[in-house]
Amino acid sequence: MNHIRLDAEDDHVKQFFRSLPVDPQGSVLELEGRAVACILPAAPDQIENGREEWTEVKNARRCDLIDREIAGTLRPEETAELHRLQQEMLRHRRRVAPLPLDDARKLHQ
C-alpha cells in the first residue's frame, strides 16, 4: 500500500481530509458520479498486534472478494473488508512464514 504524507500539503487539503467521516467500513470518494478513491480506517490495534486468528473461513471470504474485485462486481463497502482481510492475511503470513530477507540482503551486498 502506498503511504502519502499530507504534512507538506496545502491547509485546504489537510482540512478536507480531517472533515471526512470516520466510518469503520471506509468511505468512497466520488467525482462526477464516479468512485475515484476509497478511504479506509487504519487497522485496529488487536489486529496490528497479531492477536487476531487467521482462519480458513476468513481466507475463503478474502478469495471470494478478490474474485469479485477482478470481475468488477465488488461493492464499495466490501472494499474495506477486502483491505482488512488482505492486511490480516499478510500479518499472519509474516508471523508463520517470514521471508528470508537477511540472506537476500547479504547477497545484495
If one counts every other C-beta atom within 10 angstroms of the C-beta of residue 45, the result is 8
pLDDT in tens, 7-58: 889 999 889 988 888 777 778 888 898 888 878 776 654 445 556 789 999 9
Distance (Å, rounded) from C-alpha 81 to C-alpha 26?
9
Residue 97 corresponds to which cell in the numbers above? Answer: 512464514
In this predicted structure, the answer to whether residue 90 has a pLDDT above a threshold of 50 is yes
Which pTM was predicted?
0.57
